[in-house]
Amino acid sequence: MGVNVHEVIPLRTDQAMAIISATLIINGEQLETANLFFNTFERGRESQEWKLVRSYIEAGVPLKNLQSLRGIPNMG
């Protein structure tokens, strides 16, 4: 599986959003679609550990439509 972290955006002092894409590689060939994950993490006040608080997934996005995002391979 090919996984790319495109951005980590600070939302507040204790929250951040990560934009991640993942695509499957089968028999050495990368699929031409990816899943996009928009995950929001929050740092606990006492534990100071990050935990996932929200997630949105957009599935089956053609890689050619994602070329403007950092870390997406150029599919020509």
Tens-place pLDDT, residues 2-22: 888 888 999 999 999 999 999
DSSP strand pairing (33-43 vs 15-23): antiparallel
Can you give the pLDDT at residue 9?
A: 93
> At CB < 8 A and 24+ separation, what contacts does 22-27 make?
23/63, 25/1
Residue 66's SS3 state is helix
d(CA 42, CA 49): 8
- Res 75 pLDDT > 50: no
Average pLDDT over residues 67-76: 59
pLDDT at 76: 44
In this predicted model, what pLDDT tens digit does every residue of 27-58 receive, in sequence order? 999 999 999 999 999 998 888 899 999 999 99
User: What per-residue confidence (pLDDT) applies to 39?
Assistant: 97
